[in-house]
Structure 1
């Protein structure tokens, strides 16, 4: 399990990264395949991404079913 900002994330959760560098990466839905206190592994579009706690702090993370706070 991975926890940040009072939210918990576990394998099987679908997430978004609202502060990712490219808009397409902000709106893409990723599925967490592995989670630990240090970070997560997520997949989208046939690619696998390993993200550390520092990476996630920089790009943000929200459950995909939550509304994005940075857009109307």
Structure 2
């Protein structure tokens, strides 16, 4: 990993493009269960895709809906 790789870090966890994630506190059960792929990451935001839709999420959005790698509970 190089120092220039796009990364988003929150709660001591790092997320980079290509990571598969879930949002455990999302508003609907479907959105909590869905797996999203991070397509872009930065210090204050990520872009994630699922089911053909793209979502741009700020640090505040992610603090509210949570984030975890899809292979974690």
Structure 1 unmatched runs, 5+:
68-72
| One of 21, 25, 34 as aligned partner of 1:15 | 21
TM-score with structure 1 length normalisation? 0.92
Corresponding residue for 1:3? 9
Structure 2 unmatched runs, 5+:
1-6
TM-score with structure 2 length normalisation? 0.91
Question: Structure 1: which 4+ aligned runs deviate by more than 2 Å?
Answer: none
Q: Number of paired residues?
A: 67
Cα distance in 2 for residues equivalent to 1:25 and 1:6: 23
| One of 33, 57, 65 as aligned partner of 2:39 | 33
Over the aligned positions, Cα root-mean-square deviation in angstroms equals 0.3
